[in-house]
């Protein structure tokens, strides 16, 4: 049985928190540069060029891409043949977040109680989603999520009869309702199926999939492309100021569901769409 000590996990989490906030993920950089090259609206192109410049300055000066360095969200795949020594895994992840956000001088945005609103001063606790998987590896994906776009999230409990057109109509409406508030150009994560809470988790996880990739289900991949075209035809554009680039990607994740329902969640993220994965 393979063994990992939580000291190693803490160190990796610390580095991931800092790196994810300073450097745009490769897939997002590629899509952003493509959008800047293709945007034909003068104001939209100006904004996209500024976003590219901002990305380059952040990397060279080692400062955050965005001042909202997000709430730390993790998707953690734990190999069933892996043994973790040291402290509790959840405590170790939170310790890594504490070190990353304090030593990396990242903005601390987490309050301990949603009503009392007292800041925890170290951006903990993180939100952690665990899955037990075959093997002896620990796969950690971090997705620091800013709340400008998070506040634009939607959950719809559609009826089966709403079908594909109902899904597309709901996603498009969510984007229209968000308008400039989600800091476009955005990535649109969609969770389809499961139940009320799983649909939302799927939508969040969809944002961690490489922008420009597609679902391995042919009909879902087609809907991703169709929705991207529909969203970019709204004219919302970069910064909400008009143009053809409202979204950089639409990623849909699906799961089995009940015969009586069709849960749908939409989770948007601005152009930084921070995410990175490490396998220990």
The radius of gyration of the chain from alpha carbons, rounded to an integer in Å, stands at 19
In this structure, are 182 and 256 located in the same domain? yes
Q: Identify whether residues 174 and 235 lie together within a single domain.
A: yes
Q: Are residues 8 and 108 in the same domain?
A: yes
Residues 83 and 200 in one domain: no
- Is the residue at 122 inside a domain? yes
Cβ atoms of 13 and 19 closer than 8 Å? no
pLDDT at 135: 97
Neighbours of 207 (CB within 10 A): 25
Q: Is the pLDDT of residue 159 over 90?
A: yes
Quick one: 169 and 84 in the same domain?
Answer: no
In a domain, 194, yes or no: yes
Phi and psi at 191, nearest 5°, equal: -110, 125
**Average of per-residue pLDDT across 175-198:** 97
175 and 132: one domain?
no
Are residues 12 and 90 both part of a single domain? yes
pLDDT in tens, 15-61: 999 999 999 999 999 999 999 999 988 999 999 999 999 999 999 99
- The CATH number of whichever domain residue 6 belongs to comes to 3.30.360
Q: What is the pLDDT of residue 97?
A: 98
CA 138 to chain centre: 20
- Alpha carbon distance 208, 33 (integer Å): 19
pLDDT of residue 47: 95
Residue-level pLDDT at 52: 96
In a domain, 42, yes or no: no
**12 lies in some domain:** yes
Any domain includes 279: no
pLDDT tens profile 73-117: 999 999 999 999 999 999 999 999 999 999 999 999 999 999 999
Same-domain pairing of 163 and 129: no
Domain boundary among 144, 173, 192: 144
Domain holding 159, by residue range, is 147-273
Whole-number percent of the chain with pLDDT over 70: 100
Please indicate, yes or no, if residue 259 is contained in any of the structural domains.
yes
Q: Which of 109, 144, 179 is the last residue of a domain?
A: 144
- Is 50 among the domain residues? no
Domain count, the chain: 2
Q: Categorize the per-residue pLDDT at 1 as very low, low, confident or very high, splitting at 50, 70 and 90.
A: confident
* Residues 94 and 162 placed together within one structural domain of the fold: no
Name the domain boundary from 93, 128, 144. 144
Calpha distance 200→156 (Å, rounded): 10
Say yes or no: 87 and 209 in one domain: no
Ordered DSSP codes for the chain: -EEEEHHHHHHHHHHHHHHHHHS--HHHHHHHHHHHHH--SHHHHHHHHHHHHHHHHHHHHT--SSS---B-EEEEEEETTEEEESS-HHHHHHHHHHHHHHHTT-----BSSTTT--B-SS-PSPEEEEEEESSS-EEEEE--B-HHHHTT-EEEEE-GGGHHHHHHHHHHHHHHHHGGGG-SSEEEEEEEEE-HHHHHHHHHHHTTSPTT---SSHHHHHHHHHHHHHHHTS---GGGSSSS-SEEEEEEEEEEE-TT-EEEEEEEE-TT---EEEE-
Q: What is the 3-state secondary structure (H, E, C) of 231-249?
A: HHCCCCCHHHCCCCCCEEE
pTM of the shown model: 0.95
Please give the Cα distance from 255 to 192 (Å, whole number).
Answer: 7
Report yes or no on 61 lying in a domain: no
Q: Are 98 and 90 in contact (CB under 8 A)?
A: no
Is 222 found in the same domain as 98? no
Q: Are 171 and 225 part of one and the same domain?
A: yes
């Amino acid at each position: 049985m393979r063994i990992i000590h939580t000291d190693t996990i803490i160190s990796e989490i610390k580095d991931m928190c800092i790196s994810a906030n300073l450097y745009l993920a490769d897939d997002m950089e590629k899509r952003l540069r493509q959008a800047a090259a293709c945007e034909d609206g003068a104001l939209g192109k100006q904004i996209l060029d500024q976003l590219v410049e901002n990305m380059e300055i952040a990397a060279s000066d080692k400062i955050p891409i965005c001042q909202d360095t997000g709430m730390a969200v993790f998707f953690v795949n734990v190999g069933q043949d892996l043994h973790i020594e040291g402290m509790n895994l959840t405590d170790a992840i939170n310790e890594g977040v504490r070190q990353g956000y304090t030593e990396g001088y990242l903005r601390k945005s987490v309050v301990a109680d949603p009503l009392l609103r007292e800041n925890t001063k170290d951006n903990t606790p993180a939100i952690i989603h665990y899955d037990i998987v075959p093997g002896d590896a620990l796969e950690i994906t971090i997705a620091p999520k800013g709340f400008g776009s998070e506040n634009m999230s939607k959950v719809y409990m559609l009826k089966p009869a709403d079908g594909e057109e109902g899904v597309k109509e709901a996603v498009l409406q969510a984007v229209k309702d968000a308008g400039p508030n989600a800091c476009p150009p955005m990535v649109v994560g969609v969770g389809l199926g499961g139940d009320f809470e799983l649909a939302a988790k799927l939508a969040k996880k969809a944002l961690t999939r490489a922008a420009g990739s597609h679902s391995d289900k042919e009909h879902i991949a087609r809907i991703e492309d169709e929705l991207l075209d529909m969203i970019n035809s709204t004219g919302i554009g970069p910064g909400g100021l008009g143009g053809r680039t409202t979204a950089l990607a639409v990623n849909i994740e699906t799961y089995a569901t009940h015969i009586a329902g069709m849960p749908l969640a939409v989770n948007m993220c601005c152009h930084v769409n921070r995410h990175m994965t490490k396998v220990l």
